[in-house]
Amino acid sequence: MTQENTANAAKEEDLAQEVPITIEEDVPVNEESAGEQESAENEVENSAVSQDEPPKEPTLEEQLAEMKNNYLRALAESENYRKRMARELQDTREQTRIKTIGEMVGIYDLLQMAVDHAGKSTDVASLRQGLEMSFGEFKRMLKGMGVDVLDAVGQPFDPAIHEAMSTLNSEEVPEGVVMQQWKPGFKLGDKLLRPATVVVSKGPANPPPAKEDTESSTTESSDAVEK
């Protein structure tokens, strides 16, 4: 056997050993399943498109309704705040009045005791002591409330806190200085409750001549003597 025949025989033997290839038949397509799949794909596409679309703007009627609701809500909140502030202010006034009356009750007791004592005794010293106790308690109450008593005697006249009822000449008190006080003044913090009623000095009735006038008179006298 030649070499060529030997090669052909080997090739035929290899071909005989290869696995034959079988072609499967086409699987029939279910039309209903295909339709459902296509519908699902369309829904997904539509959903994606709708997400990309901008939100719908409210209509004019909807905007007006929202503005009206906001206005009514703000109006109700403002009215509630006003009522709450009015109640708190009323409560504060009531508490202040109760505290003030509570302080004055003690003074009432002292004055009542002084009046009763004055009707039964002629001891002027004891009566004076009772009045001083009542007056001291009253001043203590005013100080506790933040009230300052203005004592104007000896102070320069200040129209902001003093009320001048008259003016008098004085040899001792300089001009423009308070020499008498009829009623004291009262201040609460920086607020003037009542000005002090005072009498202001006008200085001496016949003031001494000024120094220049004295020197001029002396010079004239000397000139007259020389002549």
Instruction: Compute the average pLDDT of residues 33-62.
Output: 64
Any domain includes 174: yes
Residues 141 and 182 in one domain: no
- Confidence band (pLDDT; 50, 70, 90) for 23? very low
- Single residue among 145, 172, 193 that ends a domain in this structure: 145
Q: How many domains does the chain have?
A: 2
Residues 151 and 111 in one domain: no
Any domain includes 215: no
Structure confidence by residue, pLDDT tens digits, 150-163: 999 999 999 999 99
Contact 174, 204 (CB under 8 A): no
Instruction: Compute the average pLDDT of residues 78-90.
Output: 94
Residue 6: predicted pLDDT: 53
Residue 225: predicted pLDDT: 45
- Confidence band (pLDDT; 50, 70, 90) for 207? low
Residue 119: predicted pLDDT: 77
Mean pLDDT for all residues in the chain? 78
CATH number at residue 198: 2.30.22.10
- Single residue among 119, 145, 171 that ends a domain in this structure: 145
Residues 151 and 202 in one domain: yes
Neighbours of 156 (CB within 10 A): 11
**What DSSP assignment string belongs to the chain?**
--HHHHHHHHHHHHHHHSPPP-PPPPPPP-HHHHHHHHHHHHHHHHHHHHHHSPPPPPPHHHHHHHHHHHHHHHHHHHHHHHHHHHHHHHHHHHHHHHHHHHHHHHHHHHHHHHHHHHHH---HHHHHHHHHHHHHHHHHHHHHTTEEEE--TTSBP-TTTEEEEEEEE-SSSPTTBEEEEEE-EEEETTEEEEPEEEEEEEE-SSPPPPHHHHHHHHHHHHHHHH-
Residues 102 and 119 in one domain: yes
Neighbours of 158 (CB within 10 A): 14
Residues 89 and 129 in one domain: yes
Any domain includes 63: no
Residues 130 and 166 in one domain: no
Instruction: Compute the average pLDDT of residues 78-103.
Output: 91
Nearest one of 190, 98, 94, 104 to 141, comparing CA atoms: 104
Instruction: Compute the average pLDDT of residues 60-80.
Output: 92
Any domain includes 74: no
- Confidence band (pLDDT; 50, 70, 90) for 47? low
Any domain includes 53: no
- Domain containing residue 191: 146-207
Structure confidence by residue, pLDDT tens digits, 111-162: 888 888 877 777 788 888 888 888 888 888 888 889 999 999 999 999 999 9
Any domain includes 102: yes
Residues 108 and 127 in one domain: yes
Residue 105: predicted pLDDT: 87
% of the chain exceeding 70 in pLDDT: 67
Residue 15: predicted pLDDT: 47
Pairing between β-strand 191-194 and β-strand 178-183 as defined by DSSP bridges: unpaired
Any domain includes 180: yes
Residues 132 and 176 in one domain: no
- Single residue among 130, 145, 160 that ends a domain in this structure: 145
% of the chain exceeding 90 in pLDDT: 36
Residues 139 and 151 in one domain: no
Choice among 39-43, 75-79, 95-99 with the minimum mean pLDDT = 39-43
- Return the higher-pLDDT residue of 23 and 111: 111
**Could you tell me which residues are beta bridge partners of residue 183?**
197
Any domain includes 121: yes
> What are φ and ψ of residue 187, in 5° steps?
-130, 145
